[in-house]
Amino acid sequence: MKKYILLAVVAILVISTVIIILNREKAPKGRIVFIIDDWGYNNKNIDLLFAIDRPVTAAILPGLRYTREIVDKIKEKNSLYDIILHLPLESKSNRAAERDTIKANMSDDEVIALLEKDLESVPGAIGVSSHQGSKVTQDNRVMGLILKELKKRKLFFVDSLTTPDSVCSVIAGDLGVRYAERDVFLDITDQTDTEHFEAYIRKQIRELAEIALVNKIAIGIGHTRSATLKVIKELIPELERQGIEIVPLKEMVK
């Protein structure tokens, strides 16, 4: 009897070890989140987004001509693509500011009212990211108001990190707001010709992959440019051969 019990224990241990090894082999070596900013100016390139066929988050600007059309198209597609509000926040230069930009000199009531208006403009948003914002994301008062409101609504916040002096992570931590921040901008460059621009994007995605392999997670932000979307699709097989999984943003906010 003891012999059979011993054999059973050994068998269980062997099976458990095999399962652990197989799970380790299946587990991704790193995870990457792709966010594509600035949807709403036009209705171009949405099919290129859908062609990626992996989880991607669309950050949609409020109150633009094509804002609602883009929202509706993404909702109709499938669950691979999530929507967040790309919230216009005042930059230090204040150049090319959106009409509904939250500014540092606004009163508390003005900030909350404009945030509510922007959220209503992008129905179904599961979170918010910062558009521009190098001035406001340094402002404890304004970001405190915004993040408190997002907590009430159970929305997360992504800091695009347009300034190294952002206070968002500290405030989000203090308030218990789910939060993430950008690791790499994929397509912000002076390169203008197609060949060099695409080469730059490839370099940035590979840098993102290196971060993911070291830190287990990395967030890349690109924009609604055809080259960006095409290069992401092109490099996905390369990323997956490295053991990197493309995952939804909503799974990575903490």
Question: Is 155 within 8 Å of 126 (Cβ atoms)?
Answer: yes
Distance CA 207, CA 181 (A): 16
Distance CA 162, CA 136 (A): 10
Confirm whether pTM is higher than 0.75.
yes
Tell me the percentage of the chain whose pLDDT exceeds 70.
Answer: 90
Per-residue pLDDT at 224: 96
pLDDT, tens digit (0-9, with 9 covering 90-100), for 83-114:
999 999 999 987 778 888 999 999 999 999 99
Per-residue pLDDT at 108: 98
Per-residue pLDDT at 90: 96
- The residues spanned by each domain of the chain are 29-251
Per-residue pLDDT at 123: 96
Q: What separation in angstroms does the CA of 83 have from each of 137, 195, 211?
A: 21, 30, 25
Check whether 38 has a pLDDT greater than 50. Answer: yes
pLDDT, tens digit (0-9, with 9 covering 90-100), for 175-216:
999 999 999 999 988 877 888 999 999 999 999 999 999 999
Per-residue pLDDT at 160: 97
The mean pLDDT of the chain is: 90
Per-residue pLDDT at 9: 45
8-state DSSP, 92: S
Q: Any idea what the Cα angle at residue 171 is, between residues 169 and 175, rounded to 5°?
A: 115
Question: What CA dihedral angle connects 185, 154, 141 and 182, to 10 degrees?
Answer: -10
Lowest mean per-residue pLDDT among 11-25, 52-66, 240-254: 11-25
Per-residue pLDDT at 191: 76
CATH architecture of 29-251: Alpha-Beta Barrel (3.20)
Question: What CA dihedral angle connects 29, 227, 163 and 121, to 10 degrees?
Answer: -100
Tell me the percentage of the chain whose pLDDT exceeds 90.
Answer: 81
